[in-house]
Amino acid sequence: MSAPLSPVEPKPASSVLLVRPAPTSAPEPLEVYMIRRQKGMKFLGGYYAFPGGKVDPSDRSLQSLACCYGLSPEAAETIFPGGGLPALAYWVTAVRELLEESGLLLACDAQGRPIDARQPPVADAVERVRKALMDDEAPFAVLLARENWSCDLRPLRYLSHFITPTASPIRFSARFFLCPLPADQAPRLFTEETSEGFWIAPGEGYRRFCAGKMDMAEPAEYGLGYLAQFESLDALWTAHADGRHKFHGIIDRIDQFWKTFDWKANRWRR
């Protein structure tokens, strides 16, 4: 009898739930931005998710940590320990991945003034940074420094932590963040890794998942279910004033429990 294979070590990753108030006449008060991963991708190909990806080595560099505004490395560690890398690296990854997958950049100048992409020179600079990033021209922090910008971490709020089940050949330890849509920008579809990008009411997205119309993994399923219980963006933000995560799925610790518990039959509670 062969010995069981050891689980793959999960890679650190970050994702962002970009949220905005729904139109006044809409049946739900909030909308969240979702993407669909390209079907050919090795991990969750064709699944619906939130913008995000793995922590790159450069995201944890001293230069990357120094280019952050609104949260210090020490303060990030009090929200959650990095577990072998600086916790602040997860925030850097969140900002970088949001730019890569949606074209939206959370940045500010040295005085903390957020960029305004409604100004054509600023919009051009955002495009310049994204193109250079996708071309692997230089690390993200270097590209921001060229524009005299820093990562603006003030819009982000920590939401949840999920670890891919041990049976998966590809695993991530992913941190999820909330972010309100900046007034000066809107997400766009880029097809390097995604085939769709759209706004959807959380409750509607959850209903489509339950009906088998939108394939998604647990972090997206639970994220939609969680957002659906809030009556406004202000109420959501107030609930996250403490900066602490609201739920987590450390799946490898509850394998047996998972087999008998019906998540869809249970409603979210704050």
pLDDT digits (tens, 9 = 90+) for 228-240: 999 999 999 999 9
CB proximity list for 174: less than 8 A, separation 6 or greater: 12, 13, 14, 15, 52, 161, 162, 163, 164, 219
pTM score: 0.89
φ, ψ of residue 40 to 5 degrees: the values are -80, -5
Return the bridge partners of 198, or none. Answer: 34
More confident residue, 191 or 245: 191
* Domains along the chain with CATH numbers: 11-265 (3.90.79.10)
What does the angle CA 243 – CA 248 – CA 254 come to, to the nearest 5 degrees? 155
- Find, among 62, 53, 140, the residue nearest to 98 by Cα: 53
φ, ψ of residue 116 to 5 degrees: the values are -125, 95
> For the chain, where are the E strands, in sequence order?
11-21, 30-37, 48-49, 52-54, 68-69, 107-108, 150-152, 157-163, 172-180, 194-200, 247-250
pLDDT digits (tens, 9 = 90+) for 131-175: 999 999 999 999 999 999 999 999 999 999 999 888 888 888 999
pLDDT digits (tens, 9 = 90+) for 201-224: 999 999 999 999 999 988 999 999
